[in-house]
Amino acid sequence: MFCTNCGKEMPDGTVFCTQCGARIVDASIPPRPIKEASRPTTAALLSLLFPGLGHCYLSDYRNGGLLMVSYLVVIATTLWVAYGAGFVSDSVIAAVLILCAACWCAVWVLAIVTSYDKAEVLAAEVQHA
Ligand SMILES: [Zn+2]
């Protein structure tokens, strides 16, 4: 490699020129990507905060939106069954609430796991690029 300032030849990996003292820009090292790789833990934490948020963080607005809508529908159904549906027996309400709770957990876990996996894939892509 050569000094980009004075042109003196130097061993590879030299940071400062031994002749003129200029900082050497090594063309063989690609510049750091401006956009840092999305961190899987951040995506998972955002999903934990609210299902779908982690996907939006990863710019996956379609799946993020779907998860948010699913989550809100499950919550709305839970509230409706718990407070609004007075026309069914208590045992039916209990059964539906258990079902809703299961869906609730499923959506939540799904959001956390899939956003974590997606972030890992994205991070691997950035590293290989
Ligand atoms: Zn130099």
Distance from C-alpha of 13 to C-alpha of 111, rounded to nearest angstrom:
45
Q: How far is the CA of 13 from the centre of ligand 1 (A)?
A: 14
Over its C-alpha atoms, the chain yields an Rg (Å, rounded) of 27
Protein residues near ligand 1, an ion, with CB under 5 A: 3, 5-6, 8, 17, 19-20, 22
Q: Model confidence over 38-64: pLDDT tens digits?
A: 688 888 899 888 889 988 988 889 999
Q: How far is the CA of 19 from the centre of ligand 1 (A)?
A: 5
pLDDT of residue 34: 44
Question: Rounded distance, CA 5 to CA 61, Å?
Answer: 47
**Per-residue confidence in pLDDT tens, the chain, 129 aa:** 888 889 888 888 788 888 999 888 766 555 555 455 568 888 889 988 888 998 898 888 999 999 999 889 988 888 887 777 666 677 877 888 888 888 888 888 988 899 998 888 888 877 665
- Cβ count near 120 (within 10 Å): 15
